[in-house]
Amino acid sequence: MTTWVWVLSGILLLAVTIQPVGTAAQMSTGVTLLAAMAGIWLTRRKGAFRLVFVALGLTVVARYVYWRTTSTLPSPDDLVDFVPGLILYLMEMFTVLMMCISLFVVADPLERPAPPAVADDDLPTVDVFVPSYNEDKEILSATLAAARAMDYPADKLTVYLLDDGGTDQKCGSSDAVAAHKARSRRAELQELCADLGCVYLTRVRNEHAKAGNMNAALPKTSGEIIAVFDADHAPVREFLRETVGHFRDDPRLFLVQTPHFFLNPDPIEKNLSTFRHMPSENEMFYGVIQKGLDKWNAAFFCGSAALIRREALEEGGGFDGVSITEDCETALGMHARGWNSRYVDKPLIAGLQPETFATFIGQRSRWCRGMMQILILKNPVFKAGLTIPQRIAYLSSSLFWLFPLTRLTFIFAPMLYIFLSMQIFEASIDEFVAYTMIYMAANLMMQNYLYGDVRWPWVSELYEYVQSLYLAGAIASVVANPRKPTFNVTAKGLVTDEKRLSELAMPYFLMFALLVVAETVAIWRLLHEPGSRDMLAVVALWNGLNLAIAGLALGVVSEREERRRAQRLSVSRRGAVRIGDATIQVMVEDVSSGGAKLRPLDGRLPADRSTGRKGFLAVAMSHEDRRVAAVPIVLRRVGHDEKGGAFGVSFDTLTAAQAAVVADLMYADGGPLSAFRRSRQHYVGVFSGTARMVALSLRHTLRGLVYLARIGQPPAEKPEPAPAAKPAEGAQRSQT
């Protein structure tokens, strides 16, 4: 019955789409459809109304596509206009295709229930893999200690550090300095693992990067389930309790994926100062898209914060490593062999994002090249064993990374008319309003209705624009040689000592200048060419929108200071501080691997407020025995804030056992992660979101120009926005 409903609905949509109506009738029809959508949109109704809303929006889109295809292309006899006009048309149709695929994926996202409870005696054994390449001891200590402290029977949990920075190959390098560094790293991390109760593993050679590192560990381990955490992804105490039960519920389940949650802002959030109040960029993927993929049994492995069944891995020969996105590639192979996946929408790890714009672009370049490899070398359309919805889902995930082609086309298209008067889009102003403006309005409404809580208006356009200038080259490199891309590390834990322009900033200023010139010419022509005003007004508005986004990007590449290397997490734990002869009962309000903010319960601050005084912070551990443990501290600052008196402390030199206490403070409870995530997930409408974007653009355009005039670029080297000739073998990524 459902199939017939969809067939009849499709026939009805096609009939409505091809009706030959005039411009006035189209305007009336479009406005009516928008009004019906607005009735659902403004009341934010869900359930069946969600599908009705999508159907109404697709009707508008279909009318636009039919008109755009049959009435707006330049004549093939005029190749000067026809060729760029055809390119623009094809890029538009690609965006429509991506919209339809995305709507299929997220039309009815799955709200996954909690897993069934499993008695301790029936729980599977779990091996935790923490792959590492060049992360320092401090980052690894926090992750390993948090993994070791997870709530799980001790005899069924083993934590492994998979160190690719201390392999036999590196320790025996002909470069004496590199060999000494590798041997020192191996000895240091072996000691760390022994102190924390973890197992240190390395391998003979650095081959096949992260996938090869984990595959080398498989025959040396035996747990039924493998938990994978990147070196900077520390799990909260309840991680396994919230996830492992799913495997008992489904014997064909190979993957349980959880969202990646970050303690620090990405460079765009940091430089635009939006981290505390705007949904993070990855919330759209983890908050909506992964749940939509889960509906179709297509939620995929994201490289970390996940559990994988060993049986499924061994059946498939381990982690796949043909592409440099081994996570998605591995999941694709598992799904093709008939295994299932699940997505748990609850933040259960805390990690780090790239701190600088250059490392951000390097990371996204790797993702883009890896997904292009999958599209070319393992195209899901032709992958045997996948269901049709799974093919569509994986196609959506890989085709998405072609956005630089459409984004750059939409930037340069209006300039062809502004500078050269090229007629690449043939339409009257009345037709443009009746079809194009109605279509754009429906598109904005659908985005806001489906993603409004996790993605504010125009944020996607900004992220796509700032990546497009560099990722277009990455796409071209993979098309030219799909097997050439190699794995590079994303640096984490960096600091920015001063305000500066990113070393990648100059193309953004040049693009901004070009758009300013184009807008100036468009306005001049509006004033002096009355016969072309209608079309000039349209392209000037189009170019002006591009200019606003390009201006906002100037703020993105203007790096703010960020001297805090250890990011803090809000907590609420009671403790006691001993400084000299005084003992103060305190509430720990936030904590990082480097220090904490403490608030006296009785409001009384230390009598001697001299910074540098040493003492101890004692807290009750979250384990069942509730034993009290202490860590050495150094008093750093004392003062008052809006809540009253408080003081900050840094942790003195910590032993491995004391590092475990700090990890317990930070990760004993996932509640703060969920609370912070919810605090940023608030709905912003199209109009208010557009107003915010314009205000941000004006402010950060000015800030970027000031940075350019007063600060300039640093002398740093460009760090991997495009594939390197041959990076160090075995390089690992610290996050997906």
Known catalytic residues are 164, 327
What pairs with residue 350 in β-bridges?
234
What pairs with residue 638 in β-bridges?
647
Q: Which residues contact 405 (CB under 8 A, 6 or more apart)?
A: 91, 94, 472, 475
Cα separation, 653 vs 179, in Å, equals 27
Amino acid present at 415: M
Asked if 560 and 270 touch (Cβ cutoff 8 Å), the reply is: yes
Cα separation, 327 vs 532, in Å, equals 53
Element (H, E) at 709: helix 686-710
Cα separation, 635 vs 369, in Å, equals 47
Cα separation, 54 vs 450, in Å, equals 9
What pairs with residue 307 in β-bridges?
227, 256
| Residue 670 main-chain phi, psi, to 5 deg | -80, -5
- Positive or negative: CA dihedral 262, 263, 265, 267: negative
Overall residue count recorded for the chain in this entry: 736
In the numeric block, the tokens 């969202």 are attached to 259
DSSP string for 267-295: HHHHHHT-TTTS--TTHHIIIIIHHHHHH
* Structure tokens, 373: 């490899």
* Structure tokens, 667: 């990760």
- Positive or negative: CA dihedral 399, 404, 407, 408: negative
* Structure tokens, 154: 């001790």
Q: How far apart are the first and last CA of the chain?
A: 41
Cα separation, 599 vs 638, in Å, equals 10
* Structure tokens, 277: 């109040």
The dihedral over CA atoms of 664, 669, 673, 679, expressed in degrees to the nearest 10, equals -130
CA distances from 263 to 33, 266, 453 (A): 42, 10, 20
Cα separation, 316 vs 385, in Å, equals 13
Q: Which residues contact 262 (CB under 8 A, 6 or more apart)?
A: 280, 282, 350, 351, 352, 353
Q: Could you count the other beta carbons within 10 Å of the beta carbon of residue 252?
A: 12
CA distances from 685 to 185, 449, 453, 676 (A): 51, 9, 9, 21
CA distances from 451 to 269, 510, 682 (A): 19, 32, 11
Closest CA to 229 of 301, 129, 310, 344: 129
Cα separation, 300 vs 343, in Å, equals 8
In the numeric block, the tokens 């090249």 are attached to 369
* Structure tokens, 643: 């809540």
* Structure tokens, 434: 């009746």
Q: Is 53 exposed, middle or buried (0-12, 13-18, 19+ CB in 10 A)?
A: buried
CA distances from 693 to 342, 456, 460, 515, 537 (A): 36, 9, 12, 18, 21
- Hey, which bits of 137-194 come out as E strands? 157-163
